[in-house]
Amino acid sequence: MHELTRGHGAVRRECVYGVGVPSILWFRRDLRLLDHPALLAAVESARTDLDGKVVPLFVIDPVLWESAGAVRQNYLVASLRALDESLNGNLLIKHGDPRTVVPEVVATAGAKSVHISADFGPYGQARDESVESALSVPLVRMGSPYAVAPGRVNKDDGTAYRVYTPFYRAWMRHGWRAPAEDAPADVDWWMPMECDGFPTPADLGDIILPPAGEKAAWERWEIFRSLSLTDYDDLRNRADLDGTSVLGHHLKYGEIHPRSLLAELSDADEVYRKEICWREFYADVLFRHPSSAHTSLDTRFDDQMRWATGPETEARFDAWLTGRTGFPFVDAGMRQLLTAGWMHNRVRMVVASFLIKDLHIPWQRGAAHFMNLLRDGDLASNAHGWQWTAGSGTDASPFYRVFNPITQGLKFDPDGSYVRKYIPELAHLAGKSAHEPWLSPEGYSAGYPRPIVDHKAEREVALADYAAIKRS
């Protein structure tokens, strides 16, 4: 017998085939067994008819699969394998359009209900409504990927918050439920039809992804909580240190629920709690403004801003993509993304500012690149994180706040170890000199490129362009 314990007790999984009417648990962004309200509802529904079976289903939706880059495809497959192991090999994987696949599984299993965690993303909502229309049995929504579901936190007049800080205060007042009870013992997992098997993702080359799955998520949380949580406020911006939780990919796929993390925080951990709330705030914004995934909330940035175009701009964009801009902190971040499928959050802001305000390229192009390569690529957090830097979103950093890529590196990688780790052409430069190779006689001896732009001059261009749309 395999057991996974956390909080309330043990989750025990066995195959003890019964004779009741089955229910279906359709997994999506909730690839776990602990703190899973939809799972509890599916088991309860099945057991109203003696020992009814529960069909654990995951659908490889071509819309989502094909839009994910190789990094996220690989991580998803690893997460599904971990989930399948926890289900004793009973995860039913089907490939195809959920509007067709889910009704087929219902018919084959003779199921009386389908249980899901609610999806609040633009595509997910539309998909679920279409599936619900195609089903002859209820589609039961229980829980969501968030501690507080999008749309729940409102001002006193019922309108949405557009600024994070008052949203955070209201989110705290609203509160959230305690983690759900553990899954019942002896769940009768059942695969009523042939499994299509795990999809084959593309080759990742030299990228090595971290362990996936619920167990790995809890292990990472325990490491962070014991070693870094106390100093999180001081260390979270240091790119050269392991000062962040690195739980984004686990939260993205629901291998751990934010409510479970919140239950283990105290008021002394408010800075980290606020980071969890940022994720919920951005989900709320996207829920209320679905088009903001790809268009600026302040439409002037799409319609009137004078963005750069032409061959030189494309060459500069390629230099940004490949980490060859000549600005070490920017290039280290972009190479970390290419080699790890992840980037430190402080560096994400710096490279985004550089693309938008030094190269004068719209945020959407950078956001698309991030979504293609980030293992924790989340539509709401990614789009609105970019808009925060661009100054085009809700609660935005003002456009006139332009990150200096040199001083940011000196401040948040003071010894240059982050730069040297990802830029071997600068490995021979000691200490902080790695951030300013132009000051060293040997700075360019290993082939590192010189800066492609003059930061001071491009900052003035960006501010002038912004002043122009403000007058419009």
Token duo for residue 259: 């409510």
Which residues have CB under 8 Å from 250's CB, separation 6+? 216, 217, 220, 221, 256
Q: Which residues have C-beta within 8 Å of that of residue 312, sequence separation ≥ 6? A: none
Residues 6+ away with beta carbon under 8 Å from 324: 331, 449
Q: How many helices (H) and strands (E) does the chain have?
A: 20, 8
> Which residues have CB under 8 Å from 368's CB, separation 6+?
none
Scored b (16 or more CB within 10 A) or e, 14-31 reads: eeeebebbbbbbbbbbbb
Q: Which of 278, 320, 342, 388 is catalytic?
A: 278
Residue 301: how many CA atoms within 13 Å on its side-chain side?
Answer: 27
* CB atoms closer than 10 angstroms to residue 133: 9
26 belongs to the catalytic site = no
Catalytic residue, from 363, 382, 404, 458: name it: 363
For residue 109, give the amino acid letter.
A
Residue 237 falls in the annotated catalytic set: no
Cα-based distances in Å from 154 to 119, 149, 171, 403: 19, 12, 9, 32
* Residue pair 434/419 in contact by the 8 Å Cβ criterion: yes
- Catalytic: which of 189, 190, 386, 388? 386
Q: Is 363 a catalytic residue?
A: yes
Say how many C-beta atoms besides its own lie within 10 A of residue 66's C-beta. 8
Instruction: Tell me if residue 438 is catalytic.
Output: no
C-alpha to C-alpha distance for 285 and 92, rounded to whole angstroms: 34
- Give residue for tokens 């912004």: 466
What is the spatial distance between Cα 277 and Cα 168, in angstroms, rounded to a whole number?
7
CB atoms under 10 Å from CB of 374, counted, come to 24
In the residue annotation, 345 being an active-site residue is answered as: yes
Does the annotation count 74 as an active-site position?
no
Q: For residues 165 and 425, what is the distance between their CA atoms, to the nearest angstrom? A: 42
The one catalytic residue in 132, 181, 270, 275 is 275
The answer to whether the beta carbons of residues 64 and 377 sit under 8 Å apart is: no
Q: What is the CA radius of gyration of the chain?
A: 24
CA geometry: angle 79, 82, 86, nearest 5 deg = 140
Q: Which positions are catalytic? A: 275, 278, 307, 345, 363, 386
